[in-house]
């Protein structure tokens, strides 16, 4: 099954975009973060705090296997690390939501930042952003910069009506 796979840095708006696509085209969303939160019954920051990042990445590997077993089309809303480290191209059409770091900072509330342990230190978050951007770009079939172009992208490039 070829899914629509949304990748991009933390706070770039993947979940809002996934929801919008879902509403417009009635396609269900599978969020890798929500799947882990549900399975663990804990927030991501608590998982990082109690078990560490390595444990979280192992959970992402398990979620990858779960997605491979989905038998109907889904929008896959990938956590920032999932989109960079998992073999997302094998899951379907990869769409990279490509925002500048400054834009991400502007759109993210403090509350949203607190939910993301890798945003604890702004300087290292920026370094991570630079590394990750290259990985996302390598994996992306489509680069997408603005939610305003959503309909064009789906109806012209992806042939969704």
> Residue 18 has which token pair?
């996934």
Question: In which element (H, E) is residue 139 found?
Answer: helix 122-139
DSSP state letters, 76-108: EE--HHHHHHS-GGGGEEEEEE---HHHHHHH-
Residues 5-44 that bind ligand S3P (CB under 6 A): 10-11, 14, 33, 44
Q: Would you count residue 81 as binding ligand S3P (CB under 6 A)?
A: yes
φ, ψ dihedrals at 92, nearest 5°: 150, -155
Q: How many residues bind ligand S3P (CB under 6 A)?
A: 11
79: alpha, beta or left, given left = phi > 0 and alpha = psi -120 to 50?
A: beta
Q: Which is nearer to ligand S3P, 81 or 92 (CB)?
A: 81
Compare residues 34 and 157 and give the one whose CB is closer to ligand S3P. 34
Would you count residue 118 as binding ligand S3P (CB under 6 A)? yes
98 binds ligand S3P (CB under 6 A): no
Is residue 4 classed as helix, strand or coil in its secondary structure? Answer: strand
Identify which range of 22-30, 68-76, 111-119, 152-160 contacts ligand S3P by CB under 6 A.
111-119
Q: At what angle do helices 53-68 and 32-40 cross, to 10 degrees?
A: 110
**Piece of the chain touching ligand S3P by CB under 6 A; list 22-30, 78-86, 134-142, 146-154:** 78-86
Shortest spacing between CB 7 and ligand S3P, in angstroms: 9
Binding site for ligand S3P (CB under 6 A): 10-11, 14, 33, 44, 79-81, 116-118
């Amino acid at each position: 099954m070829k899914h629509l796979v949304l990748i991009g840095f933390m706070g770039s708006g993947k979940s809002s975009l996934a929801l919008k696509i879902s509403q417009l085209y009635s396609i269900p969303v599978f969020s890798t973060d929500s799947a882990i939160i549900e399975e663990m019954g804990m927030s991501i920051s608590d998982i990082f705090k109690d078990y560490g990042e390595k444990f979280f990445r192992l959970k992402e590997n398990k979620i990858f296997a779960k997605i491979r077993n989905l038998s109907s089309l889904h929008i896959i809303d990938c956590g920032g690390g999932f989109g960079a480290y998992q073999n997302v191209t094998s899951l379907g059409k990869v769409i990279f939501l490509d925002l500048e770091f400054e834009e991400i900072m502007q759109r993210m509330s403090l509350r949203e930042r607190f939910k993301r342990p890798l945003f604890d230190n702004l300087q290292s978050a920026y370094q991570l952003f630079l590394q990750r951007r290259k990985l996302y770009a390598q994996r992306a079939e489509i680069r997408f910069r603005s939610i305003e172009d959503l309909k064009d992208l789906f109806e012209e490039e992806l042939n969704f009506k």
